[in-house]
């Protein structure tokens, strides 16, 4: 078993602090959900380090505003916007068809959380369809571009993964009662498992994939949560002896950048980071850490198989 990775970064580190002194000139990046929340700060840091960045956004108008603002702030004019609706497989495939040339950094950042029961036209539960299926199709579709030397894929997961493993016999809540936090949890577990299996399949291609918990940040991601529910969750965390601490969006994007640029994670896949460092295993009483089921190689292989079959994706390298 490899030694746990620790870095100089922590809870209060910002994304710009992570990329200080890093030169990403000549590197190309895609950030899904780059037009809002921590996605904006992820794009800012990558652009400040010299990368060419494409914001993949559902709201192109918002993306254009962010791109213009960040181009002025960073002096980097190579910030572009392309439409991407993760709940639509056709939209994802259209983005893939429109991509040309190598891709060095794919930041699977976009997502939804704790939504009411909603199904896609295919009948898939919305959170799993968005947070996992959309990014699965996107990443596999960009496989040839990711073969660029040193390509890294970063999946924004969550401590919410502790709420549920992937329930393979009823992923879409067709037989069990819908629980929006369990649905969110299994989609975030899938974000971690994706990297576990990708490491096995793609390691020889120079592609790595890791996941992270950005921290508690108040962004549009919480739009389906009432203030009362948020306060209750804080109260429960406080009762556990570890009150919920909130980060700024600048701090929330930092761990994404650690996985995207740090030499300490070079060549490694299937990891899960919190506060800039590899997470410890979750044990009873903890409110963070990595659940055993989220790095189980058998579950990771099963998730890949189920995803390919559901999405009708041919075998990739």
Which residues are catalytically annotated? 184
d(CA 307, CA 121): 17
How many whole angstroms from its chain centre is CA 311?
A: 19
Are residues 162 and 186 in contact, defined by beta-carbon separation less than 8 angstroms?
A: no
Count other Cβ atoms within 10 Å, centred on residue 192: 30
Are residues 16 and 45 in contact, defined by beta-carbon separation less than 8 angstroms?
A: yes
| Pick from 269, 275, 273, 303: nearest CA to 290 | 273
Count other Cβ atoms within 10 Å, centred on residue 77: 12
The two tokens of residue 116 are 């009411």
Edge-to-edge strands, sheet with 277-278:
79-83, 52-57, 28-32, 105-108, 152-156, 208-213, 272-274, 277-278
Instruction: Encode 138-180 in three state secondary structure.
Output: HHHHCHHHHCCCCCEEEEECCHHHHHCCCCHHHCCCCCCCCCH
Query: Strand, helix or coil at 246?
Result: strand
């Amino acid at each position: 078993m490899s030694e746990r990775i620790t870095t100089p970064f922590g809870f209060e580190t910002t994304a710009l602090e992570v990329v200080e002194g890093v030169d990403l000139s000549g590197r190309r990046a895609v950030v899904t959900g780059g037009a809002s929340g921590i996605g904006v700060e992820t794009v800012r840091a990558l652009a400040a380090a010299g990368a060419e960045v494409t914001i993949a956004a559902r709201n192109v108008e918002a993306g254009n505003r962010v791109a213009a603002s960040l181009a002025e702030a960073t002096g980097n004019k190579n910030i572009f916007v392309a439409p991407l609706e993760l709940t639509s497989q056709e939209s994802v495939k259209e983005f893939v068809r429109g991509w040309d040339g190598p891709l060095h950094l794919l930041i699977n950042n976009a997502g939804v959380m704790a939504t009411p029961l909603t199904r896609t036209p295919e009948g898939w539960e919305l959170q799993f369809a968005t947070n996992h299926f959309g990014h699965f199709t996107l990443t596999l579709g960009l496989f040839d571009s990711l073969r660029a030397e040193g390509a890294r894929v970063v999946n924004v997961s969550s401590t919410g993964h502790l709420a549920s493993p992937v329930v393979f016999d009823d992923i879409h809540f067709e037989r069990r009662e819908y629980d929006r936090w369990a649905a969110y949890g299994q989609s975030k577990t899938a974000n971690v498992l994706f990297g576990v299996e990708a490491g096995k399949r793609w390691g020889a291609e120079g592609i790595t994939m890791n996941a992270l918990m950005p921290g508690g940040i108040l962004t549009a991601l919480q739009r389906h949560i009432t203030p009362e529910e948020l306060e209750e969750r804080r109260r429960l965390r406080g009762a556990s002896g570890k009150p919920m601490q909130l980060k700024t969006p600048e701090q929330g994007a930092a761990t994404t950048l650690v996985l995207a640029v740090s030499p300490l994670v070079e060549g490694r896949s299937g990891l899960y980071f919190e506060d800039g460092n590899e997470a410890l295993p979750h044990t009873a009483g903890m409110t963070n850490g990595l659940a055993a089921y989220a790095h189980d190689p058998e579950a990771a292989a099963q998730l890949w198989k189920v995803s390919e079959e559901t999405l009708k994706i041919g075998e990739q390298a």
